[in-house]
Structure formats: C-alpha cells, structure tokens
A and B are shown apart, each in its own frame.
Chain A
Amino acid sequence: MARHSVLGAVLVGALALAGCGGAKVGDSSSGAAGDCGTFNLAVNPWVGYEANAAVLAYVAEKELKCKVTKKELKEEVAWQGFGTGEVDAVVENWGHDDLRKKYIDEQKTAVSAGSTGVKGQIGWYVPPWLAKEHPDVLDWNNLNKYADQFKTSESGDKGQLLDGDPSFVTNDEALVKNLNLNYKVVYGGSETALIQAFRQAEKDKKWVIGYFYSPQWLLNEIKLEKVKLPEYKPGCDADAEKVACDYPDYDLDKIVSKKFADANGPAYQLVKNFKWTNEDQNTVAKYIAEDKMKPEDAAKKWVEANGDKVKAWLAKA
C-alpha cells in the first residue's frame, strides 16, 4: 500500500514538473470588437456561396472589426432565421420566388439587398468528351436520336435525364413531356450524385446528360457543355405544367433581415455594396474546392490581390 502511494506521489510530482514549463492560459489576449457589433452570416451549403461569405466575413472582420458569426444552414432554414432574428444576411440567393413571397412580401421580415453581380445559369449539361465527339447532342432537337445511348438501369427503355439537387426548381419533367423527348427524369437527389456522375462520365467516356448549373466549382475541373433548349422568353415558364423553354438566367442576389437593414450599420453597408463577378467567385471557389484552402485563407488571398474592388464596397459608407 505504502509503495503504491509513493508511486502515486512520484507520478504527480513528475507531472507537476512537466507542467512548470510552458505558456499560461490568458498570457495573451485578443483585441475586442469595434462598433460594428455581431454580424450573423448564413452560409448555405455550396462552394460558390462559401466564397461570397468568406470574402464578406474577412472584410467585415478585418476592416470593420465586426464579430462575424457564420451559421451553416440550408436555404429554407436560413430564411426562416430572418424572422427569428438569428440570421442577418443570405449572400447568394438563387431565385427562390416562394421564399421571397413568404418572407419579403407576406411576413415582411426580409428585404433584398441587391445583386451580387454573379449570373447564375441552370440547364442540361453533357460531359466535354461527348460534346466533342457528337456535337449535335448539344441541340435538344437531336436528343431523341441518342435516347438509347443514355439508357440506364433506372430509366427502363428510355434515355435517362439525371436530375439532382433538390434545392433548385426543376421543370425537367414538364420539359421532357412538352418537348416530346423519349427520356425519363431520374432523381439523383443530391449535388454529390450529379458531380460523381459527370466525373465518371468524363473519365470513362460514358453517356450522361443531367441537370446542372453554373457557377459551380466542378466546371473549373470539367468543362461541361450546356445543351441548347428552346430559348427562354419572359413568361414562357409561367405555367409550370406547360413549360417548353430553357431556364432563365438568374441574377444572384443578397437578402438581409429587415431589422439588419433598418439598423443600417457598417456590416449592412458592406453587404449592400458587395458586388463582384463570376470570375472573381470562381477564383475564390477554386482556392477552396481544389486547392483545399481554408475559406479565411482563400478570402485573404483574393482580398489582398483585389484591394481596389474591396475599397469600393467600403467607400460608400
């Protein structure tokens, strides 16, 4: 017994000695937040959005000394957060007319804060090898000719049109019906499923046609080609059942909570003035997705190279 307590004491002593070296907690303290206060920034789950959010958060923290709280949320939940006061800004919004109607027009808890300058496109895409070997596949008129090639275990005797990400509106079933295409819409169900399908299709030269969108980081890696559908004209998608035209171009915009806008603080000014281009976003998205940089580091790199653009967002205070 006594031997064991001696052993214990020695152990404790050894640990105590080891502990004597080293910095103590609280030796250095970080600076306090400035007058900007807390900025609750929603981060929706795709890389393009992450790029917007990273740059905004970086500028808000470094230039305006805000305390930025990033909240990782799906779109629905993020918009809902405007009402409960937990989200100040959504900084890349793809249309979402239903959410606009509910939160901007009806509940009046959100307002638009203008364009991000990024243009969004939705459509049907094929892998580059296919576009190169069969250029006519890029016209929807020729799709029936190739329906057999696009057959899979899921589409039976028709061609498969792979739909995927349920976050975006899709008219694809109506399009297939109204354009008399011999295709079946198969729901991959996630962006992951789409990306995997296109990657494999390009690698193994497999026939895949599917729903996709730009800007998207994958397009830096694989230049998917968009299939031409009947041209979009305003109003041609008014009746969801009868759609027979391409998707519109989306002006991706920013939505902020009404309270945040009314307070009109420096963070709101920044969000309102924030505007860049598809190339800018792609650059930052590439840093994150392919170079595997942390969003903060990616933002830092871009901001340091683009001081003039950042200055413009800050100037009109």
Chain B
Amino acid sequence: MVAVAVPRRQIPRKALIVGGIVLAWLVLWLVFRNVGTLALDASELTPLHRWINSVNDAVGASRNSNPVFLYFFNEIRLVIDEFVTFVQALIAQPSFGRPVPVIGWLGVVAIAGFVSLAVAGWRVALLAVAGFVFLGLQGLWQESMDTLSLTLAAVVIALLFGIPLGIWAGLSDRANRIMTPVLDFMQTMPTFVYLAPLTLFFLIGPASATIATLIYAAPPAIRITAHAIRSVPHNTVEASESLGATRKQTLLKVLLPSARKTIVLGVNQTIMAALSMVTIAALIDAPGLGKTVVKALQTLDVGTAFNAGLAIVVLAIVLDRVTTAATERRSLPRWAFFGGFGVTGVAVYFSYTYLWAAEFPSEVEIGSSIRKGATAVTEWVQDSLPVITNGFKDFVTSVLINPLQALLAESPWFLVALVIVALSFLIGGVRAAVVSAACLGVLVATGLWQDAMITLASTLVATILVMILGVVVGVWMGRSRRADRFIRPILDAGQVMPAFVYLVPILALFSATRFTAIIAAVVFAAPVAIKIIADGIRAVSPATVEASTALGSSSWQTIVKVQLPMARRALTLAANQGLIYVLSMVVVGGLVGAGALGYDVVAGFSQGQLYGKGLAAGVAIVVLGVMLDRLTQAAAKRWTN
C-alpha cells in the first residue's frame, strides 16, 4: 500500500519481489510443513553440547593448578574485591572492628546531598537527600548501601574503560568495526550463561558480581560515546581542522564538548544497566537489594519484593537525575559550597561517632506499609483482571504469535534460511546477505534451530510493540516538557524495577505463556526506545518546527513530515537498542513460559548436564541479535539516505 502511493518506479518492483518471496514461502510452507524443522527435545543434547560440557568440566578441574588462574584471574579478582570491599566498608558493612560502617546514614545522606548540590544544583540535591532518606525509611538502608557500593564500583570500572574505548570507536572506523560485534556479544549474551563460570574464575564474592554487572553495563557507555562523537556535524570538525587544530585539540576542544550531552546519556544508560543486574547478581551471592527480591520471590511475597525493587528504582532515579543535571555547567556561590561542605563534614563526623547517626533509626519506617500496599494491589489485580487479560492474551497469541511462529518454526530450515538471505539481499545487498547466511549457519550449528525460530517469532512481536510504544510516547514526550517530566520516572522504573518483582502479577494475568514473556520484554525495552526517540524529537531544531507551523501545518503534519523524518537517526537507534533490550529479556521470558532459547539457557544454568546446551542457546541468542541488528541497520541506512 505504501509502495503504491510512491510515484517512483523502482520501489514497487522491490515490494513486488518481497511479496513474491513471502507468497512462495507460504505456498512451500503448506507443502513442506513440519519437514526438516531441526527440532530438539528439551532434554536432548547434540555432540557440540556434550563437548562444551567436557570443556567446562576440564576448566573446573584444573582450577587450582592452572597458572592462568593463579596469576591472572586471581590478581584481577583481588583488585576488584579490594575496591568493592573498601566502598562497602565505607558506607555499607561493619568494618575496621566497628559494629557499623565508617560513614553512617547521616553522613551518606549529607554527602549525597552535597555532591548533588555541587554538580547539579538545589533541586536535584533535595531530591537526592529525600531519595536516600526514603531508602532508610523503607527499612532497607544497609541493603541499599550494599547495592550502591557494588553498582558504583561496577560503573566506575565500566566508565574507566568504556569512555576511552567509545572515543576510539567514534574516531576510528576500524576500531568501531572490531568493537561492535564484541559489544553485541556482551549485551546480548545472557548473563545466566556466564554466571556460573564467572564464579569459577573469580570465586563467589563481590568480584564475580561486579564483573557480571560491568560486562552488561559497559556496552551502552561505549556505544553511545562513539555515537556521540560521530554525530558531531562534519563542518564543525572541518572548521576546527582548517583553523589548524591538531587532532588532540579537535578532540578535546570540539568533539568532546559537543558530544558531552550524549555521552552523559551513555553514563545514564550504564548506571541503569548496572542496576538492572542487581537481582541476577544476587544469584551468586551479591549482597544488597537483589537478595531481598530473590528471597521474597521464593515465597511469592510480592510486597517485600516490590519494596526492595522500589529502593532500586529510587537509587536509579537519584543517580540518573544527578548525572543528567551535571551536564549543564553551573557555579555554586562560594558560601553555599563551603557551608554545605561544613555541614557535610559535621554530619559525617556524627555518623562516625554516634549510633543514632550511624544506624538508620528503625522506629520510623514506611517499609511495612509499602509492603502491605503492594500486596493488596497485587491481590486485587490478580483477582479482578484475569478475565479480561486472558482473553486479550488468547487473541494476540492466535492472531499474531502463532501464525508467525508456525511460519518460522514449522517450515523446513533451508526454506526459512533461503527466505531470510533473499530478503537480506534486497534490503542491504550482498554484504547483508552474507552476514545473514553466516548467522543462519551458526544457528544450525548450535543444534537449536527450531528453538531459535520460536524465539525469533516472539522477539519480532515484542520489538514491533516496543517501536509502536516508542514512537507514540516518544513523540509525545519530545513535544511536551510536561509529559516528559511526568513520564520519565515511570520509564526509569520500568527499566530498573527488577523483572522478578512484576513476574508474579503478570503470571497471574497471562499465565505461563509466550505472551507473558513478550510483555516482560516490552516493559523492559520500551523505555529505552521511548527515551531515545524523545531526545531525537527534541533535538530537531525549533526553527524548523516553527517554520512548519508557520506554513500552516497541523500538529500531525509537523510530526509526520518534519519531526519524525528529521529524527531518523534516533528512530533507527531506538529500533536497534529496543531489539537488543528485547533479546536481553529472552532469558527472563524463559522463566515465565516462553520456552525455546530462554528456557534452554535457564535450564543450562540449573543443571550441569544441560550446561553446553545453555551456552549454545546463549550463542544462538547473540547470533539472532547480530543478524537482526545488521538488518535493521541496513534498512535504516537505505531509509536515512
């Protein structure tokens, strides 16, 4: 339909070819249905899976004699352990022979307020103080500080490596080409796959938890920094160079300052990603709020899990607002700086010396009301909504998920592969076709083709939902500051509220099904897409928008003809990140009925003999991610030119 409306000749022909391919696929699907689907039972293994198991066993058995372990991993572990333990000793754990940490709650609150005041201004400082006090009121002070210590440590290490790498990838195309697949791997390889091996390499403790967190949290910093450097307009860079600036000067004086705002978005995303790992890291004994959530989930105690989840959200919002506000330069009056410094010093001293300032008073608390409230709300939702939601689920499943899955997973594998390669060629030429063919080859090799196709179907449905939400809400937020201010905290909550907290109620609403898994993925992935699109819309020059309005365009016309086309880069980035975030939830989906690759990974984490299969499933998820990513990028390139 779209193609018909465009007067040029070339596009309808392509559309016809695509239509032809799909039609041929449908016909062949009818003929060859359930032939050559490469299905594998849940407990079945391939030789590859067994081989991975044996490698894993061998590594474990040689742990105590292998010099790589003794002199390489051990050193890394020691440094990170020391760092995290030191931060914990300062604010979270009893230390140095004292029954309480060095700095008690009053001191931490004061420091948080003072730092926020210095870098982000009064309003954010108030928010920070209120947020931290709230953590104490929730009755989760120590857990929160443990989580904060671990997150800060992981984020500091991630940024230490991430920002320089990002700048490099922004400046050099070759570095970018090498780094991109590595980052894809880090972001999409499910944590469950490397969680157990990590404890083999770095033992059970803060080091493993920190490394698990930073593997997942560093890529956004690198990617977005690179993206920021690349987005600096060419003529700015050229102007700088024609004025005789050296490369270093251009970088420091032109590129970094103009990219700063976007780089800070990367820092934000890193913090958010780190906080979203809190619960998973708890599975290897990472201290803090994650443990509270995981524990509560054993008895389906949503109230307690929500209380702890809320604390993670509060931490996230405070950290996010402070870093965001820090982009705008401001100067604090001298008296305020020194006054704040003095008060903070006194507060820290008190919290070091007196018990009342060291341990958060347990008499005042709102944690139990939050728990009760959340439990009541959950019960209400579970009792009254399933009638509607189950119908909705059945509808979407039979109209959208089942047909797509039948087409992908019940066709012979070579047919699907052929179709995908052909479509890739049409979208991105020979190169895209080669990449897709290679990815499909790896999928076949993992022995999990059919599971991969089932997961692909769900992923596509989830990504479509994410983009719909992303464009609708993103445009709204981009056009209205007030909407932005109101919606942003909800998005932050969606991104960092541990999925484990809302799994219980959504399981009640939609049962253990593929649809439930899709909903969980959308809750997690939509915020990223929405935020990126909102920022993109806002970045469209106001002059252009005004010109369009002055020419008599309606709001709708302005959005469709001006703002969205001009925010194309943001849209493609959103689609891309949305997809990757959806894929990173495949495993959580496996916990609520998605089956397929997600379940394979979960089972691999839980059962030794399925480890190899779990790893293969993890690789399959990565490969799916790479393939979809390259395809969306190729399509985007075509579209943005």
Interface residues of A (CB under 8 A from B): 1, 4-5, 7-8, 11-12, 15-16, 19, 21-27, 29-30, 45-47, 50, 71-77, 80-81, 83-84, 86-87, 96, 98-99, 102, 106-107, 152-154, 162-167, 169-171, 173-174, 185-197, 199-200, 203-204, 217, 240, 288-290, 292
Contacts and interface: CB of A to CB of B under 8 A. Distances in A.
B286 to A, nearest CB: 9
Contact size range, B: 35 or more
Contact of A99 (B283, B590, B608): B608
Residue of A22, A192, A199 most packed against chain B (CB within 10 A): A192
B10 interface: no
A288 B196 CA distance: 28
B196 A189 contact: no
Contacts of A80: 60, 196, 199-200
A191 B100 CA distance: 37
Nearest to B371: A292
A30 B99 contact: yes
A47 B511 contact: no
Contacts of B595: 154, 186-187, 189
Residue of A11, A30, A154, A204 most packed against chain B (CB within 10 A): A154
Contacts of A5: 335, 338-339
Interface of B: 41-43, 57, 60-61, 63-64, 98-100, 195-196, 199-200, 203-205, 282-285, 291, 294-295, 297-301, 335-336, 338-339, 342-343, 346-347, 349-350, 352-358, 382-383, 386, 393-394, 397-398, 503-504, 507-508, 511-515, 590-595, 598-599, 602-603, 605-611
B512 A25 contact: no
B390 to A, nearest CB: 9
Given A22-B356, A77-B196, A197-B507, 13 more contacts: A7-B339, A8-B343, A15-B350, A19-B350, A76-B606, A76-B607, A80-B200, A86-B204, A153-B397, A170-B42, A173-B42, A188-B592, A192-B300
A185 to B, nearest CB: 7
Contact of A166 (B291, B335, B602): B602
Contacts of B503: 190, 192
Contact of B511 (A15, A50, A152, A217): A152
B355 A15 contact: no
Given A8-B343, A23-B356, A83 B605 contact: no
Contact of B603 (A11, A86, A166): A166
A15 B513 contact: no
List 6 tightest A-B contacts by C-beta distance, closest first: A188-B512, A166-B603, A193-B512, A8-B339, A4-B335, A190-B591
A77 B512 contact: no
A166 B339 contact: no
Contact of B204 (A87, A166, A170, A189): A87
Residue of B199, B204, B397, B594 most packed against chain A (CB within 10 A): B204
A288 B299 contact: yes
Contact of A8 (B98, B335, B353, B590): B335
Given A15-B347, A76-B608, A77-B284, A193 B339 contact: no
Given A4-B339, A72-B285, A153-B394, A86 B300 contact: no
Contacts of B300: 192, 195-196
Given A189-B591, A193-B591, A292-B301, A73 B342 contact: no
A74 B605 contact: yes
A8 B99 contact: no
B353 A173 contact: no
B606 A25 contact: no
Contacts of B299: 47, 217, 288-290, 292
B455 to A, nearest CB: 13
A8 B335 CA distance: 9
A24 B343 contact: no
5 contacts: A8-B335, A47-B298, A74-B284, A102-B60, A190-B503
Contacts of A171: 43
Contacts of A12: 342-343, 346
Contacts of B355: 22-25, 27
B76 to A, nearest CB: 15
Contacts of B608: 76, 96, 98-99, 102
B346 A15 contact: yes
A19 B294 CA distance: 38
Contacts of B605: 74, 76, 166
A171 B44 CA distance: 11
Contact of B507 (A30, A73, A193): A193
A19 B64 CA distance: 52
Contacts of A186: 512, 593, 595
A84 B339 contact: no
A77 B195 contact: yes
Contacts of A194: 512
Nearest to B387: A204
Contacts of B336: 4
A169 B291 CA distance: 26
Given A73-B283, A217-B299, A187 B354 contact: no
A11 B301 CA distance: 44
A188 B610 CA distance: 17
Contact of B514 (A45, A47, A154, A200): A154
